[in-house]
Amino acid sequence: MPQPPPSSRPGVAVGAFALVALLVALAAAGVWWVQQDGDPSYSGASDAPESPPASASDPSGATTAGSADTAAADDRRVVVISVDGLGSLWVSRRATPGIADLLAQGAGTLNARTEVEKTVTLPNHTGMVTGDRVDPVQGGHGVTWNSTSTRSVALGTQSVFSVVDAAGGTSAVYAGKQKFEMWGRAWPGTIDPLEIDDQASLVTDTVEDLRAGAHDLVFLHLAGPDNAGHEHGWGSPAYLDAVRTADADVDRVVSAVADDPALAEEVVVIVTADHGGVPGTTTHSDATQPENFTIPFVVWGAGVTPGDLYDLNPDYRDPGSSQPSYDGPQPVRNGDVANLVTDLLGLDPVPGSLFDTGHDLDVE
């Protein structure tokens, strides 16, 4: 498994240089001077870092995040892969050897949970990127529908894309369903590209994106298993074939990272799902069914400590076969993705989010 290089972030060296220069200047002439970290062209008089300009709000009322305490780490990038419709019931060494390898080499669990309110695609994926529950009355992101729509998130809802953008970073989304275009309206100017295409093309573009070093955050959505489940049933031969294809696609992305020494030192991959499915059914909307709400969650890459996520995180509670409410000790949820990403990138949590706001889901 690739290990991270020794820290090479410029902030420490720049800070030390500034301190020495300050002492010299004081001794020589009593003159105070300030240099902005990491910007040799800086000539301003203030010692406070400038906040990035806020993007304009869209008609939904969603706004971008305020400035983060730190810019996105130059030596860390994150890829999130969501396998639509892949419940933990369908993950095994035989059926999904690629994901099984990630579970063995990374920090993971097959007993993570979806959102409590919904076990459908768009509400759960929006939860992944906002770090929030669904119900807008309770402060959630408000995406209660699961179709292509002109609607958007609840007023003021921010996302991991907002935080990355405010810190001067960039994000890309490669998704297999048209309904994901809503994210572009919700957080305008923070996702480029937001590409909707067939699964094979999306995986190719994701690998090319990684090799080009184009973005700090890449979100890849694999729609195949969900499409097959709806058409042929969860557990059908067609569904299992789609799961094998998605697993191979995950492995293709991971191999692109592992086989490139530079990428292996800086990229972390998160793999999870939005929901599962009950064998023999063609829907997954019953949020009380364990087969629908039990999902994988695995983190692999530079600096990640291998092990079971619940063993690594005693503050989280393994839910057994239940779906806990949002009160009390929490299981690992797909909604933890947003602030796990901000943590890995060295950024503040998503404003207004619910999950992992203390950056206490430990994977390193």
What's the length of the chain? 364
- The string of pLDDT tens digits covering residues 17-51 is 333 333 333 333 333 222 333 332 222 333 333 33
Residue with tokens 């207004």: 352
| Residue 265 domain-assigned (yes or no) | yes
Predicted local confidence at residue 19, as pLDDT: 34
Same domain for 150 and 278: yes
**What is the span of the domain harbouring residue 124?**
77-344
| Residue 69 domain-assigned (yes or no) | no
Same domain for 42 and 159: no
Q: Is the pTM of this model over 0.75?
A: yes
| Residue 278 domain-assigned (yes or no) | yes
Task: Please report, for the domain that includes residue 84, its CATH number.
Answer: 3.40.720.10
What is the layout of strands, in order, in the sheet containing 267-272?
194-196, 171-175, 217-222, 77-83, 267-272, 294-301, 107-113, 307-308
Same domain for 17 and 153: no
Same domain for 329 and 189: yes
Task: Name the token pair of 334.
Answer: 């797909």
Same domain for 184 and 276: yes
Packing angle, helices 97-105 and 237-258, rounded to 10: 50
Predicted local confidence at residue 74, as pLDDT: 60
* CB proximity list for 56: less than 8 A, separation 6 or greater: 188
C-alpha angle 112-77-152 in degrees, rounded to nearest 5: 65
Same domain for 87 and 26: no
Predicted local confidence at residue 258, as pLDDT: 98
| Residue 354 domain-assigned (yes or no) | no
For residue 79, give the nearest of 344, 287, 322, 275 by alpha carbon. Answer: 344
**Exposed e or buried b for every residue in 246-257, given b needs 16+ CB within 10 A?**
bbebbbebbebb
Predicted local confidence at residue 73, as pLDDT: 54
Q: List, in sequence order, every residue forming a beta bridge with 78; answer none if it has no partner.
A: 217, 268
| Residue 350 domain-assigned (yes or no) | no
| Residue 363 domain-assigned (yes or no) | no
Q: How many domains does the chain have?
A: 2
| Residue 60 domain-assigned (yes or no) | no
**Residues 82 and 250: beta-carbon distance below 8 Å:** no
Same domain for 338 and 192: yes
Same domain for 238 and 332: yes
Same domain for 146 and 26: no
* AA identity, residue 19: L
| Average pLDDT for the chain | 85
- The string of pLDDT tens digits covering residues 240-277 is 999 999 999 999 999 999 999 999 999 999 999 999 99
* AA identity, residue 2: P
Q: Is the dihedral of CA 301, 303, 308, 309 positive or negative?
A: negative
Predicted local confidence at residue 75, as pLDDT: 83
Three-class HEC string of the chain: CCCCCCCCCHHHHHHHHHHHHHHHHHHHHCCCCCCCCCCCCCCCCCCCCCCCCCCCCCCCCCCCCCCCCCCCCCCCEEEEEEECCCCHHHCCCCCCHHHHHHHHHCEEEEEEECCCCCCCHHHHHHHHHHCCCCCHHHCCCCCCCCCCCCCCCCCCCCCHHHHHHHCCCCEEEEECCHHHHHHHHHCCCCCCCEEECCHHHHHHHHHHHHHHCCCCEEEEEECHHHHHHHHHCCCCHHHHHHHHHHHHHHHHHHHHHHCCHHHHCCEEEEEECCCCCCCCCCCCCCCCCHHHHEEEEEEEECCCCCEEHHHHCCCCCCCCCCCCCCCCCCCCEHHHHHHHHHHHCCCCCCCCCCCCCCCCCCCC
Predicted local confidence at residue 14, as pLDDT: 34
* Residue spans of the chain under pLDDT 50: 1-71
φ, ψ for residue 296, nearest 5 deg: -80, 155
Residue with tokens 């969900």: 226
Same domain for 81 and 45: no
Predicted local confidence at residue 56, as pLDDT: 32
Residue with tokens 């989010």: 353
Same domain for 86 and 42: no
Same domain for 258 and 188: yes
| Residue 216 domain-assigned (yes or no) | yes
